Amino acid sequence: MPEEHDLAELDEQYMRLALLEADLAAADDEVPIGAVVIKDGQVIGRGHNMRETWRDPTAHAEMIAIREAAQTLSAWRLTGCTLYVTIEPCPMCAGALLLSRIKRLVYGAPDPKAGVVDTLYRLLDDERFNHRVEVTAGVLQNECAAVIQAFFKRKRLRRVEEE
């Protein structure tokens, strides 16, 4: 296991990859959330929101990255993997983390409307589940929050201009 200082540097490095995925979502006029799954220092899954493009309510960044990681490993159990995501996961995505047996979650900014890791609930800490996910919150928090805030600011400005 890397030293704590080294782990913090790695967390920032991988979160920057998740931010690049968020930029891809924004370019498609999707809510800019990005995610990557890492195992043994390798990216094995990546995703960004595609709900509008795919017309699929489950096409969240985390779900897409988890699916790709499972395909890469040819296994649904993602033991030993870390998911990096720019925003705190919603109930669906947190459930997928539990069900896929992801070892660790690293997220950027809290989600006051749908986050269930630390904000609205603490789903990943619930002892009634047969799996726990280690959580590191707040990695590049300001940058992750700024991406979302800028997106919705642009949306609001466009709406005003159309009126």
Compute the radius of gyration of the chain from its Cα atoms: 15
Nearest-angstrom CA–CA distance, 89 and 96 = 10
What pLDDT, on a 0 to 100 scale, did the predictor assign at position 5?
72
Question: Is-catalytic flag, 52?
Answer: no
Burial 26-51 (b: 16+ CB within 10 A, else e): beeebbbbbbbbbbeeebbbbbbbbb
| Cα 153 from chain centroid (whole Å) | 21
> Using 50, 70 and 90 to split pLDDT, how confident is the model at 52?
very high
Q: Phi first, then psi: what are they for 138, rounded to 5°? A: 85, 15
What pLDDT, on a 0 to 100 scale, did the predictor assign at position 148?
95
Say what the pTM is: 0.94
Question: Annotated catalytic residue: which of 62, 127, 134, 161?
Answer: 62
> Using 50, 70 and 90 to split pLDDT, how confident is the model at 80?
very high
